[in-house]
Amino acid sequence: MIMQCILTCSEPRHPNEHQKCITYATQPTSSMTADGAQSTVAHGTHEVPQTHNSHGFAGLPLELLLWILSSTPTSIIPWNCQRPMPAKYREQRDILRVLCQVCRSLRIALLPMLWENLEACTIHPTCDNEDDPKFPKLLNEELSDQIKIITATSPHLSIYVRIVNVAIEPQFAEASLRSLAQCLAFLPNLHTVQIICRTSGSMIRPKNMLAPKRKGDERFHAFEQAFAGRCYPSVKRVSLPVEALSAFPCFPEVLDVHLNQKVFLGFSSFISAVVHHCAKVESFGWHESAPEWRFAEVIRTLPNLRRVRCSAVIKSVSMTYIY
């Protein structure tokens, strides 16, 4: 539908109306948050040669394309669910990928926007849902392909990546997290990291986090092994599952922390990890069905907070509590 709209709006222009080269300042791009707010990131100035493809679809003003793109669904941070996002949330990125393949001028203009997000967090369009047997492998391949491009094939694209948003499937957790942890070190402008883990039957470990104790603890161990000794000082915002609490030493400069899954026994351990390793945290959020009694614990444990936020579903009504 969006592509049809773009093509319908395209009108051929006379070649004399164009200069040999037009300089476009790429517009700030938006990343939708769970409460509907938008965070914007500005790119630099890109010179788009117009000696070819200077009329018809490729001749549309870049501002018009960006305006159309702004109406398409994009991934959500924080995502308060222990499963990948529906396929509709990949629409904006898929359109950007197609536009970058149309012609050289669009590729130059839109490639920085495409790679602003390293994403593998949605249900694949060829799958009915996340329970499709082929989905875990497709999701893992999608993440692996992007990491390979950033670290090996086209490392010059790493400067564009500002947001990493990935979903990890249990059977690929160890390899995926190890590759991801290595990749993050290649991203000098990275400021936001979200990792989504599908819930397993036994996901809460005891306070002794030194080694896995029971079935379901493999992902805790995978996070420990993957992120041990690493540091990403540019990251200011993280949205993580409780299994990732051993990764907090990697984010010493983080300001905004969100626990993106409902937990019961591991909530205090998660907050304690934030206290010990992230002294600059100003905002903390989580998701659960009965949030009121948690506020006192959060405020007591993290006294320097400026914002406390809890997203809850009570009797089928979504509510957001902000302190």
C-alpha neighbours within 13 Å on the C-beta side of residue 144: 12
Does residue 34 lie in a domain region?
Answer: no
pLDDT in tens, 302-311: 888 999 988 8
Cβ atoms of 177 and 222 closer than 8 Å? yes
Does residue 32 lie in a domain region?
Answer: no
Q: What's the whole-number average pLDDT of the chain?
A: 78
pLDDT in tens, 105-150: 889 989 999 999 999 999 888 887 778 888 899 999 999 999 999 9
Cβ atoms of 195 and 240 closer than 8 Å? yes
The token duo for 89 is 């949330």
Alpha helices in the chain (DSSP H): 2-9, 62-69, 91-100, 104-114, 135-148, 173-184, 218-227, 267-277, 292-301
pLDDT in tens, 240-268: 999 999 999 999 999 999 999 877 678 88
Q: Which residue range is the domain that position 251 belongs to?
A: 59-199+221-322
Domain count, the chain: 1
Does residue 165 lie in a domain region?
Answer: yes
Does residue 175 lie in a domain region?
Answer: yes
Does residue 47 lie in a domain region?
Answer: no
**Strands 21-25 vs 317-322: parallel, antiparallel or unpaired:** unpaired
Cβ atoms of 245 and 201 closer than 8 Å? no
Does residue 24 lie in a domain region?
Answer: no
Q: How far apart are the first and last CA of the chain?
A: 41
Does residue 13 lie in a domain region?
Answer: no
Instruction: Using the predicted structure, report yes or no on whether residue 297 has a pLDDT greater than 90.
Output: no
Looking up residue 267, the CATH number of its domain turns out to be: 3.80.10
| Buried-exposed string 131-143: b where 16+ CB fall within 10 A, e elsewhere | eeeebbebbbebb
